Amino acid sequence: MPVQTLPFSTLIKIDRKSIVPIFQQLAKGLIQLIQDGKVKPGFRLPSSRELAITMGLNRTTVVAAYDELSVQGWIEVVPRKGVTISSKLPLLKPKSFRDSTNEEVSRKPSFYKKLTSKDQNIQKNSFDIVVNDGYPDARIAPLQMLSSQYKTLLGRHSRHVMLINERSTGAASLRTELSLFLSQTRGLNVTADNILTTRGAQGAIYIAAQMIVKPGSKVIVGELNYSMANKVFRQLGATLIKVSIDENGINVDEIEEICKVAKPDLLYIIPHHHHPTTVTLSAERRIKLLNVIRTYQLPVIEDDYDYDFHYENSPILPLASADHNGLILYVGSISKTLALTVRAGYLVADTDIVLQASKFKELMEIRGDYLMEDSIANLFKSGEMQRHISKSVKLYKNRRDIFCDLLKSKLYEVLQFNVPYGGMAVWALFDKKLSLPKISAALVKHRIYLNDGSLYNQEVSDINGIRLGFASMNEKEIEKFVSALFIEAKKYSS
């Protein structure tokens, strides 16, 4: 058992002027720590010699205190094994952060802000298959190479010293590699100074929003939209103006009409594989939207979280690749390329905006994990990232085709969807007579996790739809999921 290494000298006060013997004061102090749950049953206490040094006491005093605790049954003294808190005591927990009992509700702290959401409380680690929101398959990512590079850099003292002087915009190596990659694949005319690295695309969205949105701001979003972005805007005090989404993406005519009345403070848009519906902004609307942005000087956050995963033809270039007078802040994700556990994203903008964004970033973290950013940069520099993307696109396209064919053949009566041109998920709308919460609960016995739909209907409550991520499931897992979904859907639809 581990030894308790608490700062006993500050937790137990010894009054040398008291008529109470010092060994009894020490014993009483240790009992109080046990009762408070700070010293736990089964854990070892320091040896009498160690505690005497810590407390500045004579060792015989500590031995006397331990003898007193042993007689009272608080501790067990085992030769050559040390002093252990009795395992027969009830498990006590520290009071400082425990949940209040009914009698203590009135004393529960209420000084902090609370965010509410419809979260499905299920332990996902108890499932064989997790049907997610549309995430990559970490099993095929070059994580071993990434790990090896990280370990190598971890052992280089010179790199640790150099990182101390790195700018808060992110590791120069990754920003340089990203500038080359984005220029080659997205037509972005950028340098490293145009890039801020973040902990995932969500971090980039948050920082960008912090720079633009303030209480009372008006933000245009899709009627169905990425819920986490909506939460950010609302938390910053914005009012959301919702615009319709169809098979050609966001309705640009509606955006223009809004701007004619009063220019909003921000437009948030996902041109490729819109979340959650997966639709892509058409080329015609893209051209018109760029004109609206320039005409009304409309600031834009362009969220392009999985641009690289397009299957039918070449994706249209981002809005940020065109002339936009610095009005577009472009957000991208590396996590969606490798694995969600590798938290990496970026914000691309005018150099002055990036500099200011780095100051907002510093409020959360002075420096990110620059060794990890260096390691990711090595994947780009060696070409391994590009090869991984190419391999992933082929694999995910094959999985998409298998997944969609099975959905069409087995669930055509109760489920509507369009085959997505890209991305990692299918937007599926279920028949109204099928309850997604019930389907989700029923799949538990198949050891399959499926969101109950609450993730997507927080904004529009009558949406009986869900994103079915296919990229992270292999063929066997896809077949098992669709078969189980068919079985349960049939029960509830009959």
Domain stops at, among 360, 382, 404 = 382
Secondary structure (3-state) at 422: strand
**Are residues 424 and 336 part of one domain?**
no
Quickly tell me which residue has 């009762």 as its tokens.
Answer: 35
Residue 419 within a domain: yes
User: Is residue 69 within a helix (H) or strand (E), and if so which, with residue range?
Assistant: helix 59-72
**pLDDT at residue number 116:** 65
Structural tokens at position 315? 């994706």
| Same domain, yes or no: 341 and 447 | no
Are 347 and 418 members of one domain?
Answer: no
Looking at 365-472, list the stretches that DSSP marks H as alpha helix, in order from N- to C-terminal side: 370-382, 384-411, 436-443
Shared-domain flag, residues 345 and 296:
yes
Based on the fold, state whether residues 130 and 146 are members of the same structural domain. no
Beta-carbon contacts of residue 244 (< 8 Å; ≥ 6 apart): 222, 223, 250, 251, 254
108 within some domain: no
Same domain, residue pair 271 and 291:
yes
By the 8 A CB rule, do 398 and 428 touch?
no
Pairing of strands 345-348, 249-250: unpaired
What is the domain-level CATH number for residue 74?
1.10.10.10
In this structure, are 159 and 44 located in the same domain?
A: no
My answer on whether 16 and 50 are in the same domain is yes
What is the tally of structural domains in the chain?
Answer: 3
Question: Are 242 and 324 found together in one domain?
Answer: yes
Residue 479: exposure state from Cβ atoms within 10 A (0-12, 13-18, ≥19): middle
Together in a domain, 213 and 324: yes
Among 231, 283, 251, which residue's Cα sits nearest to residue 119?
A: 231
Structural domain contains residue 357: yes
Give pLDDT tens digits along the chain (494 positions). Answer: 567 678 888 889 999 888 888 999 999 998 888 888 788 787 888 888 888 998 999 999 999 998 888 888 888 887 767 888 887 775 555 445 555 455 555 566 667 777 766 555 556 568 999 999 999 999 999 999 999 999 998 888 777 777 677 788 999 999 999 999 999 999 999 999 999 999 999 999 999 999 999 999 999 999 999 999 999 999 999 999 999 999 999 999 999 999 999 999 999 999 999 999 999 999 899 999 999 999 999 999 999 998 999 998 777 889 999 989 899 999 999 999 999 999 999 999 999 999 999 999 999 888 778 899 999 999 999 999 999 999 999 999 999 999 999 999 999 999 999 999 999 999 999 998 888 999 999 999 999 999 888 877 656 667 889 999 999 999 999 999 999 999 998 887 65
Structural domain that includes position 64: 8-85
Q: Look up the pTM and report it.
A: 0.80
Same domain, 130 and 163: no
Q: Could you tell me which residues are beta bridge partners of residue 130?
A: 449
Domain boundary among 350, 367, 382: 382
Return the pLDDT at 90.
56
3-state secondary structure of 331: strand
Tell me the C-alpha to C-alpha distance, in Å, between residue 479 and each of 272, 485, 486.
28, 10, 11
